[in-house]
Structure 1
Amino acid sequence: MGRRIRIMADERVQQLSARFPKDVSEHYQQMIPAYQKGYADYVFQTDQEATQNRRIKQLTKNFRSYATKPYHYLQPLSSEDALQIATNWQLSSEMQASLLNPKPNQSSFQVIKNGLFFAYCCVEEQNGTLVLAFAIAPQYRGNGHGRACYQAIEDYIKTSFTDKQISLNLSPEEADNISFLESLGFQNVSNQDGYHLMTKPLVKE
């Protein structure tokens, strides 16, 4: 029964994708499965083709608006997604270890952008400081999206944690990120054997 329901859901997703314009269909196909299923369920709640077409037209308008008005959403990271990231995202050994062997005081999140699995972040609480690690999926790197992604993470942290400071530990191979992090307000407070500690106060509005 469960397999049959899955097949039906997959068929609805494929049907909806085929009815979108090409550019919207390509975006829809890259969304996380939960979003794909949710939109397909919404469109096919009714058997009335005219109503389906109106809903598809509205979704097309919404998806195209993401080019100028992107949205970010954070949700807990599953162990399956953590394994996928550690295996495929070209991370440092330290970041891989934190994903696969999380500490008791560590929280990990998916960063969803416009329905896409865009990035991840881990935060570990240490005496009033949040130790942050985050990375953008390889296929989205180098396109100028890092600043908005980081800001979404910081905004979430401000509303979800009471800590007063964020810190980032950079390995030698991550040193190229220093100037970018400084532009976000981080200070490079120490450098030991090529490992940089960067901090930023959390100012809550």
Structure 2
Amino acid sequence: MIFIQEIPVSKINEYWDIQFQYLVNDGFITTEEEKKYFQSAEYRDVLQSHMLRTPDTQHMVYFVRDGVKIGASQYCTYKSEDGKCFILDFWVFPEYRGNGTGHKCFQTLMEYTKNDGAMYYAMNYAKEDSHRFWASLGFSDNGIDEYGLPLMIKRA
């Protein structure tokens, strides 16, 4: 069984290190400019401040199976609006990918967030294999965001 472990602000630096390696290794960021941005206070301080706001708190979590961290996600459920749960990051660590682990992690995340008010899910993607993954979970295309990235949505 997979469990959610919330990451407190006091332990955020470990998450930043893991997230950065994921973004580089999976080819989401490739230029020196992108690398600097994702390691900058400008980027990290905004997200950290969102972890402290109420309502619409941003969450950073690990997926844990048998006491081992197998992936991570960050999301925000907009309770002050219509209950949209926007997924900013979602990944399974490479050594745990396959065999439906990503699907199980998302099912766990969905149950966890529904208990906290999520009514539906949205996210954007940058790679075609990500699109296939999210489509296999019932997400459908939903336009583009203000940065030109495609959006997907999953209604409850």
- Structure 1 length as normaliser, TM-score? 0.54
Structure 1 Cα separation of the partners of residues 43 and 18 of structure 2: 8
Q: Match for residue 130 of structure 1?
A: 85
Percent same amino acid among aligned pairs? 22
Equivalent residue for 2:4, pick from 68, 74, 96? 74
Matching of residue 140 in structure 1 with residue 96 in structure 2? yes
- Structure 2, unmatched stretches of 5+, are none
Name the larger-Rg structure.
Answer: 1
Q: Match for residue 170 of structure 1?
A: 125
Q: Match for residue 73 of structure 2?
A: 121
Structure 1 Cα separation of the partners of residues 142 and 70 of structure 2: 29
Structure 2 Cα separation of the partners of residues 85 and 143 of structure 1: 22
Amino acid at match of 1:120: A
Amino acid at match of 2:113: I
Higher helix share goes to which structure?
1
Structure 2 Cα separation of the partners of residues 86 and 147 of structure 1: 20
Q: Within 5 Å, which residues of 2 pair with 1:149-168?
A: 149-159=105-115, 161-168=116-123
Which is further off, 182-191 or 78-87?
78-87
Shift of residue 73, structure 1, vs aligned partner = 1.0
Mapped contact 1:167–1:200 kept (Cα < 8 A): yes
Structure 2 Cα separation of the partners of residues 144 and 194 of structure 1: 30
Matching of residue 184 in structure 1 with residue 137 in structure 2? yes
Q: Match for residue 18 of structure 2?
A: 85
Equivalent residue for 1:198, pick from 147, 152, 156? 152
Amino acid at match of 1:131: F
Structure 1 Cα separation of the partners of residues 118 and 20 of structure 2: 31
Equivalent pairs counted in the alignment come to 128
- Structure 2 length as normaliser, TM-score? 0.69
Mapped contact 1:111–1:118 kept (Cα < 8 A): yes
Shift of residue 195, structure 1, vs aligned partner = 1.8
Shift of residue 181, structure 1, vs aligned partner = 1.1
Higher strand share goes to which structure?
2
- Structure 1, unmatched stretches of 5+, are 1-70
Structure 2 Cα separation of the partners of residues 140 and 90 of structure 1: 17
Aligned-residue RMSD, C-alpha: 2.6
